[in-house]
Structure 1
Amino acid sequence: MARRLRTVGRDFTDSAPMRLVFAAEVSAPPDVVYRALADDVASWPSWFTAVTRATPTDGGAGREVRLRGGVRFRETIVATEPGSCYAYRVDETNAPGLRALLEEWRLTPEGAGTRVQWTFAADGTGLFRLVLSLGRAGVGRSFRDAVRRLDTRLAATTP
């Protein structure tokens, strides 16, 4: 059964009890990366393999996301700054121990490409925080693999 999480704003990326921050580079420019993140939500499973389904909701103001292992999120988009930032908060989930979650994708020009920085800001029970701490390396690897696949996908579709 889905549980309602605490509503948080963008400032949660600075104040969250748990913050995982990872960065990687892609060859596509920021506006192209932004469109892949924000406008082509349904394609996320093709490059972020932890995601099995992603569907825009509420006319693009939200998303429903399913992850491997059966975790589900109902999200609200909290930032849409074309070419620079895309962020969303989780409003409902079936993930145990999670109390609040906000993810932010920051895009900055890097040479001819883009530096992609992902912040996973969360609050949860002590057990949740322990598991997330222990899984930090795996989450980072998943992010880097996803960005590498996104880079390959964008290179194949960008003229």
Structure 2
Amino acid sequence: MSWAVRLYPAAFRREFGDEVAEVYREATRDAGPLGRMRETGDVIGHALRMRLGLGSAGRWFGAVVAVAVAVPYAVSWLRFLVPVAGGLLLAGRQAFVRLRTAPAVPAAGLPFLVLAELTGALAVYLALPLLLVVLGAAVAVSVRRRRGGSGPLVGA
């Protein structure tokens, strides 16, 4: 919690830092993880509003900024998820049962990654890890096939 108190301006921190930390400890004593996270967010928000010199209007402004950032991101995810969900529903399980070779797995997963990138739903820093997951799935299929498995799906 001391890291969040450091976000307050130095003068406020010297005068009220211990009190803020104590109030936080009391508020989160019997709280679960979600309650602690919410309290930490409140402390961080208050510290940033004080540092930026925003009063109660700062809450309204912060909410507007959060919505302005979240809505376009949510829309890009919807533009990605709707066609993907439709395609998966139309293809059904049989489309995945046919993925019997290692090259077929990345070939099936790559269009999803490209669509996510084109719609803006995929952050640049997630592209490589997701590509590695697709390649890992290809390796898993290859190993399963070598061991005599009938298909890439568990129990198939």
Relative to the length of structure 2, the TM-score reads 0.28
Name whichever structure is richer in strand by fraction.
1
Name whichever structure is richer in helix by fraction.
2
Ranked by relative contact order (alpha carbons within 8 Å, sequence separation 6 or more), the top structure is 1
Which entry has the higher C-alpha Rg, 1 or 2?
2
